[in-house]
Amino acid sequence: MDRDINAFVEVLDPTPEVSGPLSGLRFGVKEVIEQEGLATPLGVPFLGDRIGKENAEVVDSLLDAGARRLGTTRSTMLAIAGDSGARNPLDLSRSPGGSSAGSAAAVAAGFLDFALGTQTVGSIVRPASYCGVVGFKPTFDVLPTRGVMRLSVELDHVGLIARDVETAQRAFRALAGPRDGQGVLTKACLPAPWFDGDLPTPVEAACTGLAERLGTIGLAASSCTLPDDVTSAEGEILNGLLCKGVLDNHRAFIEANEAQLPAELLALAKTGARISRQDHAALRSERDRLGAIMERLFDDETVLVFPSVIDAPPKLGSGTGLREPQRLWTLLGWPAISIPFGSYGGDLDHLSVGVQLIARPGMDVPLLDLARRIEAGA
């Protein structure tokens, strides 16, 4: 069944049925997440025989909760460079996008109910949007990263790609435990995009339509513009932290295999080599400064409505898509969920458009509750 989509590195006999809160749900694991005795090649073709020594904490938690593991899903190299080899089930000539490409493709194809993914820039939200499924990036460090390949200690998130919000909500609850008393989201803001060029009409329509849906359930939505201090600096800060992380965490691998690695990965490492310890500390301080600005601007009751993507899924061999709409929320560590809300229309009507809902750190449960209400049309 996976021959055309190529979402899996390895397909397993389903694990035995175990009673628990996730009984009856099938899941997959991105190949940069350790699994004992199973292929964990980190998206690197010549590491195909690399076997995990122990399960990542999140894998054990899902198995203990009764979910049935069906396989290991494809990633780009080290979750940052090259092509995963997976194809988008909505259009086999296009990429699922992002590094969690196999996870999104497998869920969109109906092979899995949900899958584990990782996001260091945009690789949960972006492929979920391109494939027409739900992508949830929790608050930074809410889900443990023990046993997950490290790319950037300041940016790495573990999250979920799921067939619907309810499934993501169930899986998150099993992974994060009870998180009650977090409040309620009562108002919405639509930040103006700060990227070059106009939003594609279908993307703008999806955001407007979702804001109108919020109005029907009692959340007044208004437009806003983020401070120049934030929008002018976020890209450079994230890129610096990413490049420094790539070098620090994978220097030996890159130096030993330089001739076999894509130019994109080598360029990231080269940039990282120019970032001193003092520069790295300054980048972290700047990240914290932007977070403080944003937390003064938005309170715990506000949900932000923002495009998940600003481009259609790229054609195979043309990259993994544009990162701009996901980047800031990863840098800040704010929880974000992408839900499908419309299509591109015309000749691209088969391609889904996703919209992000974003909240302040720690507001994961209210964010999922709100997304569930939107999905249910209530």
Catalytic residue among 61, 95, 123, 308: 123
Indicate the domain borders of the chain. 8-184+301-376, 230-292
Other residues' Cβ atoms within 10 Å of the Cβ of residue 42:
19
Other residues' Cβ atoms within 10 Å of the Cβ of residue 338:
31
**Distance between CA atoms of residues 137 and 175, nearest Å:** 13
**30 tagged catalytic:** yes
**123 tagged catalytic:** yes
273-332 pLDDT per residue, tens: 999 999 999 999 999 999 999 999 999 999 999 999 999 999 999 999 999 999 999 999
**Distance between CA atoms of residues 204 and 105, nearest Å:** 25
Tell me the mean pLDDT per 10 residues along the chain, length 378: 96 86 97 96 94 97 96 97 96 97 98 98 98 98 97 98 98 89 90 91 96 94 96 98 98 96 96 98 98 97 97 96 97 98 94 97 96 86
Percent of the chain that is helix, strand, coil (3-state, to 5)? 35, 20, 45
The pTM for the full model equals: 0.97
pLDDT given at position 212 = 95
**Distance between CA atoms of residues 99 and 81, nearest Å:** 8
Structure tokens at 254: 């890159």
Task: Mention the CATH class of domain 8-184+301-376.
Answer: alpha beta
Helices (H), 218-305: 228-231, 234-256, 263-273, 277-297
Catalytic residue among 61, 75, 99, 352: 99
